[in-house]
Amino acid sequence: MKPTPPVLAGPPIIGHTFQFMKNSEELLRRGFETLGPIFAIKLGNQHAAVLIDPDYHQTFFMETDKRLSMHKTYKFLKAALGEVGFTGPPEVYAEQRSILHKPFKSEKAANSIKAMQVEVQQWLDSLGEQGEIELTSAITTVVQNVASHALMGKKFRDQAGPEFWRNYLLIGQALNPVLPPYLPLPKFIRRDRAKNRLRAMLRPIIAERRAHPDEYDDILQDFVNARYKDGRIVADETILSLILALMFAGHETTSGQAAWTVIQILQHPEYLQSVQKEIGECLPAGQTIDARTLVALKHVFWAVEETTRMHPSASTLIRRAEEDIEVGDYSIPEGWILFVCADVAQRLPNVFSEPQNYDPLRFSPDRAEDKRHRFSIIGFGGGVHKCAGMNFANNEMTIITALLLQQFDLELVTKDPGVIRGMGANRPDKTFVRYHRKQVHAHSDTPATNAADACPHLKMLQTES
């Protein structure tokens, strides 16, 4: 029998509980630097093994639903969103998997790209000629509108007011993987009330969709029309959980990474020049984005990838050992928790060259550092449970960045933003950006016009959507 992983020094009885709740990434980085790629922490009386190496990540993901359990470690998400996807046991996930993945297949991707473009352009049109914005909150609102429009339809997006998203904020504030999720704590009580209000808002919408299925063709309607492989319809309560989960994931994790993508490009003028040159060639003023344009925006996409590497919004993933399992030189006993930490693992010098440096070109085909190991990038998970909405999120972040830089010159006022950490997604602290709308010329002898006014295609998109 191999030994159990060495335990990081910490306080007696409570162990590393409060350190983990305050800043799990800092704690796990200290453990890695002190004890190496496999070590243990204690969360009260619960032992947890931490794995930080692509080979060990492979065991973590490939043994999920076999010797490692996922749903038993995400009870706090089940309490917040319901039994859906990976918050349910393997048989539930297997039953729901095709339904969860269908909205992100190619036939719906074009509609999603169109909705993203409409929402981003509406934001850009509202900015005026010049001014200053707080980027993180502005992008959060845009991402919320995209989630509403792309997942639920334009009618819902137009009707969903601030109250809808305030309820999601209460849910996000209650996420905690350490505390039992049904304790009678004020934040858990607020979470449950918010969840009940969201479900009450959505039930009549589902009833309307069931009564008039031919009037809608969007992702929500796909859920309403869905049937399991044995022909059973999907129950309303399950659809509610699917919607809550996708809407939550569709804005909670994406908004922070989208803001970081813009911030990091602005922090690196040389790379900004490459991005601007590419946008000028592939996305000139007045041109809209389709799937072909997205593929051509390579420098923008590599910037999105580098932000995913350096600022993963959901950094720590969790499993539970259902039986003893050997990883590397150690044995992890049944009942232990296992963690992987993208924030630490995606900065390993044996995987990425100069990992502390911002270098989107590491994702270019001639370098392809992310291809050195299947599990070197784990910000969107891995294996059968890899995030179904990864391409949706990457497209959205690319579109936000490309259209913003297509139409505005930007200056980072907050030069070095801090990180707001929590049990939900990490995001930049308040970041102020000064903007000036670019002037475009159709011909050298014509007067300048605003980029927002030079795009009849976007008016057409808004009409169609």
Alpha helix locations (H) across 212-297?
A: 219-225, 236-252, 254-267, 269-282, 291-296
Report which DSSP code applies to 148.
I
CATH classification code of 17-77+85-464: 1.10.630.10
Domain ranges for the chain, please list them: 17-77+85-464
pLDDT in tens, 324-368: 999 999 999 999 999 999 999 999 999 999 999 999 999 999 999
User: How far from each other are the two terminal CA atoms of the chain, in whole angstroms?
Assistant: 61
Query: How many angstroms from the chain centroid is the CA of residue 13?
Result: 35
CA 177 distance to own-chain centroid: 18
Whole-number pLDDT of residue 209: 93
d(CA 148, CA 175) in angstroms, rounded, equals 22
Confidence bin at 464 (pLDDT 50/70/90): very low
| Helix axes of 254-267 and 236-252: crossing angle, nearest 10 degrees | 10
Give the Å distances, CA to CA, from 101 to 134, 390, 406.
34, 11, 32
Q: Under a CB-based contact definition with an 8 Å cutoff, are residues 346 and 53 in contact? A: no
User: What pLDDT was estimated at residue 445?
Assistant: 37
Rounded Cα distance between 86 and 84, Å, is: 6
pLDDT band, very low/low/confident/very high, at 447 (cuts 50, 70, 90): very low
370 secondary structure, DSSP code: G
Residue 179, Cα to own-chain centre: how many angstroms? Answer: 23
Grade residue 442 by pLDDT with cuts at 50, 70 and 90.
very low
Among 274, 277, 341, residue whose Cα is nearest residue 302: 274
Which is nearest to 280 in space by CA: 438, 48, 116?
438
Is the confidence at residue 444, as pLDDT, over 80? no
Output the pLDDT for position 296. Answer: 96
What predicted TM-score, i.e. pTM, was given to this entire model?
0.91
The Cβ of residue 157 has, within 10 Å, a number of other Cβ atoms equal to 20
The number of angstroms, rounded, from the C-alpha of 305 to the middle of its chain's C-alpha atoms is 12
Q: What average pLDDT does this structure show over 433-460?
A: 54
Cα dihedral 24/347/67/34 (nearest 10): -60
At residue 411, φ and ψ (nearest 5 deg) are -130, 130
| Reported confidence tier of residue 440, pLDDT bands at 50, 70, 90 | confident
CA of 306: how far to CAs of 294, 346, 364, 396, 406, in Å?
A: 17, 10, 11, 15, 20
Q: Which of 161-165, 292-296, 439-443 has the highest mean pLDDT?
A: 292-296
Query: What are phi and psi for residue 38, nearest 5 degrees?
Result: -130, 120
pLDDT of residue 424: 60
Look at residue 300 and tell me whether its pLDDT is greater than 90. yes
Mean pLDDT is lowest, of 103-112, 140-149, 280-289, 414-423, for 103-112
Task: Supply the pLDDT for residue 422.
Answer: 67
Instruction: Give pairs for 92-95: CB < 8 Å, separation 24+.
Output: 93/65, 93/385, 95/228, 95/229
d(Cα 402, Cα 396) in Å, to the nearest integer? Answer: 10
Alpha-helical runs (H) found in 268-376: 269-282, 291-296, 298-310, 342-345
Q: Where do the DSSP E strands lie in 136-196? A: none
With CA atoms as reference, report the closest residue to 122 among 465, 392, 422. Answer: 465
106 pLDDT band, cuts 50/70/90, is low
88-109 b/e (C-beta count within 10 Å ≥ 16 → b): bebebbebbeebbeebbeeebb
| 410-425 per-position pLDDT tens digit | 999 999 999 887 656 7
Q: Residue 4, Cα to own-chain centre: how many angstroms?
A: 33
Mean pLDDT estimate for the chain:
89
Q: Are 28 and 52 in contact (CB under 8 A)?
A: yes
pLDDT, position 244: 87
Report which DSSP code applies to 39. E
CA 409 to chain centre: 26
Query: Please, which residues have CB within 8 angstroms of residue 85's CB and are 6 or more apart in sequence?
Result: 93, 96, 97, 100, 242, 245
- Model pLDDT, residue 423: 58
CA gap 310, 366 in Å, rounded = 21
pLDDT at 350: 94
User: How many residues belong to the chain?
Assistant: 465
What is the distance between the alpha carbons of residues 387 and 86, in angstroms, rounded to a whole number? 10
DSSP class of residue 414 equals S
Cβ atoms < 10 Å from Cβ of 456: 10
Higher pLDDT pick, 103 / 135? 135
CB 238 within 8 A of CB 84: yes
pLDDT in tens, 18-71: 999 889 999 999 999 999 999 999 999 999 999 999 999 999 999 999 999 999
Strands 337-341 and 46-51: parallel
Weakest-pLDDT range from 1-5, 97-101, 165-169, 404-408: 97-101
pLDDT tens digits, 215-269: 988 888 989 999 998 899 999 999 999 888 888 877 777 899 999 999 999 999 9
Place of tokens 């011909």: 443
Report pLDDT for 219.
86
Residue 363 has what DSSP assignment?
G
Q: Are 284 and 441 in contact (CB under 8 A)?
A: no
pLDDT band at 386 (very low <50, low <70, confident <90, very high): confident
C-alpha to C-alpha distances, 353 to 285, 298, 347, 362, 367, nearest whole angstrom: 36, 20, 9, 8, 10
**443 has pLDDT over 60:** no
User: 460 pLDDT band (50/70/90 cuts)?
Assistant: very low
For the chain, what percent of residues have pLDDT higher than 70? Answer: 94
